């Protein structure tokens, strides 16, 4: 079978059977297309021509082009999954990516805001017109519930439960979960709904809309939050994930309940959530340095 045929059948599989998100499918497409372009230069067009030798050559080329370790790891993962699919369909005799080690990734702790800074920013942010009320509600909801940008953008009016102080979101892998809404966020949502009513009709189901009555897009949410960060004098650039990380970190600092944080964030694996334990330790270290008498004592 031609590589191009194996590519098309795999795209159909991950799109219609696995039902991966558009963003994830696009990521797979980029990785596979780049590998196909490389193989074409080597005059390799059939699935069974791809050997471990060519995989290692491609890996070396990516290293030589100074791609970041995370990018290389993502591409190798995408290609390994593709060839695993081909092997299961007996299109290739074996997966040439098995045994290929991905580069070690540097662990970057997610950036967060201090509790006091978030309180100051949100408390002084206005909410007396359509745009400011919508944007403040979004920011409060990000911080209150720790949801992802994609999850918030996709929230529908019917996903909201005022009586239960909760909202239903659809996360990675099309998995839904119910997350709580804090009192401040809930109060703003109620206020936002009065503005929303005047700018859209009953046919529009998106919870957050533009002044034209259309669903608010990802980029608009990102840019609006960044603009508010500048206006409000934030010490660093504001973006949706910073609120999510701050929510998780502050929740863990107060509760020490890692499982609860995992459920709140919608992490499939607890190891993903455990990165916040490092943030918690950093907080403890700062408190120690500022409060412990032996930590404050200077060397004589």
Q: Which of 148, 224, 242, 245 is catalytic?
A: 148
282 pLDDT higher than 60: no
Residue 145: per-residue pLDDT? 83
* pLDDT per position as a tens digit, 176-211: 888 888 889 999 999 999 999 988 877 889 999 999
284 pLDDT higher than 60: no
CA distances from 224 to 37, 138, 186, 212, 219 (A): 38, 10, 20, 16, 8
Q: Which of 168, 184, 241, 283 is catalytic?
A: 241
267 pLDDT higher than 50: yes
Q: Which of 172, 177, 191, 283 is catalytic?
A: 172
Residue 126: per-residue pLDDT? 95
286 pLDDT higher than 80: no
Residue 230: per-residue pLDDT? 94
Residue 138: per-residue pLDDT? 96
Residue 300: per-residue pLDDT? 43
Q: What average pLDDT does the structure give for the chain?
A: 82
| Cβ burial 15-36 (10 Å sphere, 16+ → b, else e) | eeeeebbeeeeebbeebbeebe
Residue 217: per-residue pLDDT? 93
Q: Which of 80, 196, 250, 267 is catalytic?
A: 267
pTM (two decimals): 0.59
Is 276 marked active-site?
yes
229 pLDDT higher than 70: yes
DSSP secondary structure letters along 62-111: HHHTT--HHHHHHHHHHHHHHHHHHHHTTSSSS-TTTTPPPPPPP-PPPP
Residue 79: per-residue pLDDT? 93
Residue 66: per-residue pLDDT? 81
- The whole-angstrom separation of Cα 218 and Cα 152 is 9
Residue 294: per-residue pLDDT? 43
Is 244 marked active-site?
yes
Domains of the chain by start residue, with CATH: 3-88 (1.10.150.130), 115-290 (1.10.443.10)
Q: 224 and 216 in contact (C-beta within 8 Å)?
A: no
Query: Both tokens of residue 81?
Result: 């999954």
Residue 170: per-residue pLDDT? 85
Phi and psi at 84, nearest 5°, equal -65, -40
Which residue has tokens 């990521």? 27
Which alpha helices (DSSP H) does the chain contain, by range? 3-12, 22-41, 52-64, 69-88, 115-124, 130-145, 149-154, 183-199, 218-232, 240-255, 258-265, 270-273, 275-291, 293-296
- The whole-angstrom separation of Cα 223 and Cα 201 is 26
275 pLDDT higher than 80: no
For 48-62, 125-139, 210-224, which range has the lowest pLDDT when averaged over its residues? 48-62
Average pLDDT over residues 205-230: 94
257 pLDDT higher than 80: no
Strand partners, 161: 166
Q: Which of 134, 224, 244, 250 is catalytic?
A: 244
Position 292 confidence tier, pLDDT thresholds 50, 70, 90: very low
Q: Which of 7, 10, 28, 276 is catalytic?
A: 276
The residue with greater pLDDT, 99 or 232, is 232
For 7-16, 56-65, 123-132, 290-299, which range has the lowest pLDDT when averaged over its residues? 290-299
Is 267 marked active-site?
yes
Is 292 marked active-site?
no
Helix (H, G, I), strand (E, B) or coil at 292: coil
Residue 176: per-residue pLDDT? 83
């Amino acid at each position: 079978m031609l590589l191009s045929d194996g590519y098309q059948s795999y795209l159909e599989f991950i799109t219609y059977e696995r039902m991966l998100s558009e963003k994830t499918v696009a990521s797979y497409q980029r990785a596979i297309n780049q590998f196909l372009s490389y193989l074409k230069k080597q005059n390799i067009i059939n699935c069974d021509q791809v050997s471990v030798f060519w995989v290692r050559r491609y890996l070396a080329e990516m290293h030589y082009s100074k791609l970041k370790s995370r990018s290389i790891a993502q591409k190798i993962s995408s290609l390994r999954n593709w060839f695993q699919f081909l092997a299961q369909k007996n299109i290739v005799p074996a997966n040439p990516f098995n045994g290929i080690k991905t580069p070690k990734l540097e662990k970057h702790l997610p950036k967060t805001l201090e509790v006091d800074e978030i309180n100051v920013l949100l408390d002084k942010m206005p909410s007396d017109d359509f745009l400011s009320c919508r944007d403040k509600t979004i920011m409060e909801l990000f911080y209150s519930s720790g949801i992802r940008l994609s999850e918030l953008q996709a929230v529908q009016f019917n996903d909201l439960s005022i009586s239960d102080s909760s909202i239903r979101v659809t996360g990675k892998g099309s998995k839904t979960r119910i997350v709580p809404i804090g009192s401040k966020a809930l109060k703003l949502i109620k206020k936002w709904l009065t503005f929303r009513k005047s700018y859209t009709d009953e046919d529009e189901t998106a919870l957050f809309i533009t002044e034209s009555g259309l669903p608010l897009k990802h980029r608009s949410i990102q840019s609006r939050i960044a603009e508010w960060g500048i206006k409000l004098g934030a010490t660093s650039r504001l973006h949706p994930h910073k609120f999510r990380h701050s929510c998780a970190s502050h929740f863990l600092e107060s509760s020490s309940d890692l499982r609860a944080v995992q459920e709140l964030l919608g992490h499939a694996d607890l190891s993903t959530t455990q990165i916040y334990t490092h943030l918690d330790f950093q907080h403890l270290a700062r408190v120690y340095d500022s409060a412990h008498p032996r930590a404050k004592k200077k060397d004589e």
